[in-house]
Amino acid sequence: MSLQGNLKDFSITNILPILKTENKTGILEVKNEEKTVRIGFVEGQVVYAHAGEEGLIGRLKETLVAGGMITLDGWRHLEGYAGSPDLLWTTLAKVVPPETASRLLRRQVTDTLFDLLRFKKGTYSFNAAKTVDYPASLINPMDVDFLLMEGCRIADEFSQLEVKLPKPSAVLRKAILSQEEQTGDKGKSLAASRNFADTLEFVVLQERGVEINEHENKVLSVMETPKPVRAILNSVDLSSFDASAAMLSLMGKHIVVEMSRRELAAADKPRAARMMPGYIFLAVVAAVMVAAGWHRLSYMHPSQMEAWKALSGEVNGAKARYELDGLCNKLEAFQFQAGKPVKAPDDLLKSGVATRRELTDPWGTPYRFESVEGGWLIRSVGEDRVLSADDVVSAAPITEKKAEQQPVVAEPPSPAPQ
């Protein structure tokens, strides 16, 4: 039997019961403008579902790494199996406890199917097969009727949750300890734990009579530092619906709050403050020299002229290093908020993360963005605008690996080797 058509004429809730009734084995593929979903059936029961390699890999990676289940090196080895879901999950079961892999696989299948039930437009086609590859040791075939009943309930409730959720790029932080408690003696005793229930903040909530449930504890456990909503939902070991509900509950209790633009900007100030003194010092020295009469360049002795040029170069060089450091932060801030790396410098302009002036060096030349493995190398070509000259100023490369380890703060910039 060939089953294909348009969702406007035949919805998912009509298609799935037919596949169950006729004990079909094969792959149901559903496409809309945003994604392609594939669901595996064996004798009318659901055994697998995913919405593309990118979505699977991104969410699974954040859950495993943020939850401390595997290291980044462990993930890179696992990622090599991304093209074969069956191999990916069976390999994962050798890295983490099989019950953990089984739970995450079931989460993926149910979340994918529940999301599919919300499709209003798209096309579908069913391709019959004798067998379907799936990690049979990790998941039992799932009944269509149960999935439809639970999925329709969640789809209705999720629609109500979504209107209350902050936008995916909004950054949330915990609001339990005051600034004084975070920096004082109390803050020093805060436990660095993957489990929020083992931290001082949990004790503080208990003392205040504020209770949190298991789902809320899991959300707080992945919020050691402020994170975008998208990253939190991907990191927590819960279904999308349960994670969203727990997040909204924590916001309702004022345990978690959305960071304002002012707070986000202030987060970059400590690093800027470390660099500014040297930059300001050189600028002040130059100003003093001008006030002392060095501005009469036409009367300068050649040695004085050389000294002036050298100082001017030092000022602009220091300013360029300062600005490059800021651009490194902006690259990482873009990835932190957008959930994806910068593909081109114009992304910073279009998103409002950087202005045209911030992408221009002190000599009026646009900073050069050079693609390196997994990221960018940003340079100023200096006063003479020649990349091979010795006045080139470079920032440390921003790579994918570095962004994972330090999502906001870039390494201190260093001049390019002469």
Over residues 303-313, the pLDDT tens digits come to 555 554 555 66
161 vs 249: CA distance, rounded Å:
11
Whether 249 shows a pLDDT value over 90: the answer reads: yes
Which of 279-283, 372-376, 404-408: highest mean pLDDT? 372-376
Question: What DSSP designation does 360 have?
Answer: B
Over residues 191-216, the pLDDT tens digits come to 445 789 988 899 999 999 999 999 99
Q: What is the pTM of this model?
A: 0.61
Give the closest residue to 22 by CA, choosing from 114, 112, 124, 126.
126
Q: What are the structure tokens assigned to 130, written together?
A: 């004798």
Give bridge partners of residue 330 from the DSSP assignment: none
Which of 162-176, 266-280, 287-301: highest mean pLDDT? 162-176
Over residues 126-135, the pLDDT tens digits come to 999 999 989 9
| Residues 6+ positions from 296 with CB-CB distance below 8 Å | none
Segment holding 2, helix H or strand E:
none
370 vs 403: CA distance, rounded Å:
17
362 vs 345: CA distance, rounded Å:
18
Give the closest residue to 193 by CA, choosing from 165, 223, 150.
223
30 vs 144: CA distance, rounded Å:
16
| Residue 67 identity | G
Q: How confident is the model at residue 124 (pLDDT cuts 50, 70, 90)?
A: very high
